[in-house]
Amino acid sequence: MSELVLVRLEKPATILTLNRPDKRNALNRALVTALAEAFRQAIADPHTRVIILTATGPAFCAGMDLHELAETLDRPDEAELVHADARRLAELYDLIYTCPKPTIATVPGPAVAGGAGLVAVCDLAIATPRASFGYPEVRRGLVAAMVLPHLLRLVGERIARELLLAGELIDAQRACQVGLVNAIVAEDQLLPTALEWARRCAQGGPQALAKTKELLRRFSPFASLWQAVQESAAARLQVECRAGLRAFLEKRPPPWVE
């Protein structure tokens, strides 16, 4: 089996590549675990000054692996597994958000739900014109509890309400306008641009960069991470979520859509 996260050092950056293209890089347990470990190693590596997150295939990340979730909901230990999955993803988001080194997301294609969350927890984001972003959780009977605080922080309440309640995708241009991404570049310039930004960031002192990031977090309103875990897990166990997942996997409208 191929590696779920490809790791390449290109000083001053380490490039972490989601490598599950056949599943649109959907976040199953194995990928979340592998990505967290790759981030920990990059954080500990003295040669890594900046961490770049990208993906193989046409999509950046389709979000949570709904097939894996559906299988989980058929098990007798579903509540325990669902809470563990929510905590695992929350810990990954927190690891990236609190990373002492600058992080850059490069988004070649769709970043949806938890995938858009990965973009939101990075310091900087660059997208191609082909990229799109969305939080369709409510359309599946789910709640974007863990992504919501980061989305609010970036775009404010009015735009967050639009994205979360309508659950529709927006294109790269709109994402740049509302503050989800910093820049849009041609596809062949995605990684070169990220590396150029990495070189600029690496001109700063490591301790100064880490302290600046700490201060940005300190003065940013942020809801309780663990409360978000509880809300996310609880939503996954509701009847509405089960119905929404079945409809999604069977490629039909959910029961609440006439």
Containing 18, the helix (H) or strand (E) segment is strand 13-18
Of 59, 205, 228, residue with least CA distance to 147: 228
Distances in whole angstroms, Cα of residue 158 to Cα of each of 52, 123, 177, 231: 30, 22, 14, 21
Cβ-based neighbour number of residue 208 at 10 Å: 9
CA 192 to CA 185: how far, in whole Å?
A: 10
CA 100 to CA 209: how far, in whole Å?
A: 7
Q: Can 231 be counted among the known catalytic residues?
A: no
The tokens for 196 are 């150029």
Cβ-based neighbour number of residue 180 at 10 Å: 25
Distances in whole angstroms, Cα of residue 73 to Cα of each of 24, 29, 110, 219, 228: 22, 15, 27, 39, 20
Choose, from 91, 137, 162, 240, the residue flagged as catalytic. 137
| Sequence-separated (6 or more) residues with CB below 8 Å from residue 254 | 139, 140, 141, 243, 244, 247, 248
Query: 16: which strand partners?
Result: 7, 53
> Among all residues, which ones are annotated catalytic?
137
